[in-house]
Each structure stands twice: as C-alpha cells, then as structure tokens.
Copies of this chain bind each other. A is one copy, B any other.
Amino acid sequence: MTTVEEPARPGGRIRDAARTKAEILDVATQEFARAGYMGARVDEIAARTRTTKRMIYYYFGGKEQLFTAVLERAYSVIRQAEQELDVEHLDPVAAIRRLAELTFDHHEAHPDFIRLVSIENIHEAEHIAASEVLGKLSSPAIEVIRRILEAGRASGLFTADVDAVDLHAMISSFCFFRVANRHTFGALFGRDLVAADQREHYRNMLGDMVIAYLTADRSAD
C-alpha cells in the first residue's frame, strides 16, 4: 500500500487528481479494514484525508464503488508479488516450500488485506462480482504451482495427484487463518499465532505440512 506522503505546499489547495485519489484509497483501505464495510464511515475517511467527502463522490461515485476500488488495488498488490515469484529453478520440493513461505510472508505483511478479504466474504464477494477488473485476472501463482507439481510428479518426488488450485487453497488456509483469526484464537486458546518469536515455528510448520502431504507414502491407503 503506497502511502502517499508529500510536503504539501502550505498555501491553500493543490490540484493533483492522482494524488488525491491515491490518498483517498489509502485512508479508505485503513478505515474499511478497521471497521468493516458497514462500520466504515465516509465522513471519517474524508476527515482523515487532505480533501473532502465531496471528492470521494467525485472520484469514486459512492461508498460501494470506493470499497470495490480499495479491493481492486489490494488484490493488485498480491498479483504483483506473485508475478515476481521465481522458484522454478529450484527442485520441486524446495520450490513448493519457497512458494509456501512467500505466501506466508505476504499474509503476515498485509494484515489489512486479510481483513478486507474477510469483510468481502461476509458480503459474499459481491464487490468482486461487481468489479470489471477483479473477476477476470486469475492468480499467476496457480500457474507456477501447476508447473512445479508437474515437475514433482515427473521426477517421482510427489506421490499425490494434487490439483494446483487445491494446493493453493491448502497453503492459503493456514496463512490466512493465522492472521485473520488471530484474535478469537488468541482469546480462546491463549496463544498468539502471530507472535514474533513463533514466526519461524509456524513458517516451518506450514512448509513441513505441505511437503509431507505431497511426498507422503500413499501405498498404505
């Protein structure tokens, strides 16, 4: 989330559509993530911006479209990260582990994004459905996983006939839950899943889990 922060020429208003839009999106991302879609206040977003509520409606049309724009930008950040995945030079086991760790790191680094996704699910993904952009572009990570899995099966390392999307779901589950349900889990089990000193532990646990699943001896089943 590129936080816009500029010297702000002190005398009166400056005209910069791009900056104003970006600033609104920054603040809106925080506010929606903080309070949920219905809990977020358009006035509050405006107040924390160097512009006014009028501009939100001028640029985005309304609360609904603003949230959609927030989601679009948030998703574009992961896609960017996924695009930079470069793990296919590794052997399949190392490649999958690396991919899992990158997913893990990305979730940890973007808790606001996780919250937005939770919120969007409460609303049954209606904003994603309404978005021109989001519906189409699928994740590059899936293709990467598909290729690694193929290589792993070809070399005999991977015993399981797993689908790439399913494996992605498995990896995401763990990463997502850890961040999204941090609070209830902590309150009920007295354990902070996102505690700094447990980070490596859970990161390894995820890798071990995925590799164990892919390389398990299926002859006993």
The interface stretch among A9-17, A23-31, A147-155, A204-212 is A204-212
A202 neighbours in B (Cβ, 8 Å): 166
> Is A47 an interface residue when CB atoms closer than 8 A count as contact?
no
Write the A57-84 contact mask toward B (1 if CB under 8 angstroms, else 0).
0000000000000000001000000000
Q: What distance in Å separates the Cβ of A73 from its nearest Cβ neighbour in chain B?
A: 15
> Is A139 an interface residue when CB atoms closer than 8 A count as contact?
yes
A191 neighbours in B (Cβ, 8 Å): 165
Q: Which of B39, B128, B166 contacts A37 (CB 8 A)?
A: B39
> Is A36 an interface residue when CB atoms closer than 8 A count as contact?
yes
A174 neighbours in B (Cβ, 8 Å): 170, 173-174
> Is A119 an interface residue when CB atoms closer than 8 A count as contact?
yes
B124 touches A183 (CB 8 A): yes
> Is A146 an interface residue when CB atoms closer than 8 A count as contact?
no
Copies of this chain, count: 2
* Bound complex: CA A208 to CA B166 (Å): 13
* Bound complex: CA A6 to CA B125 (Å): 36
Write the A177-188 contact mask toward B (1 if CB under 8 angstroms, else 0).
110111111111
Q: Contacts A120-B183, A173-B174 given: A139-B35 contact, CB under 8 Å?
A: no
The number of chain A residues touching the other chain, given as a range, is: 35 or more
Write the A101-137 contact mask toward B (1 if CB under 8 angstroms, else 0).
0000000000000010111111011001100001100
Q: Which of B37, B119, B184, B213 contacts A120 (CB 8 A)?
A: B184
Q: Which of B120, B135, B168, B208 contacts A160 (CB 8 A)?
A: B208
Q: Which of B187, B212, B216 contacts A125 (CB 8 A)?
A: B187
* Bound complex: CA A47 to CA B39 (Å): 22
Q: Please give me the 7 A-B residue pairs with the lowest Cβ-Cβ distance, nearest first.
A: A38-B39, A125-B183, A173-B177, A212-B216, A38-B38, A212-B212, A125-B187
Can you list 24 A-B pairs, Cβ within 8 angstroms, ordered by A? A117-B181, A117-B184, A118-B118, A118-B181, A119-B122, A121-B181, A121-B182, A121-B183, A125-B183, A135-B187, A138-B188, A139-B189, A165-B191, A169-B193, A170-B174, A170-B205, A172-B181, A173-B176, A176-B177, A177-B177, A208-B216, A208-B221, A212-B212, A216-B216
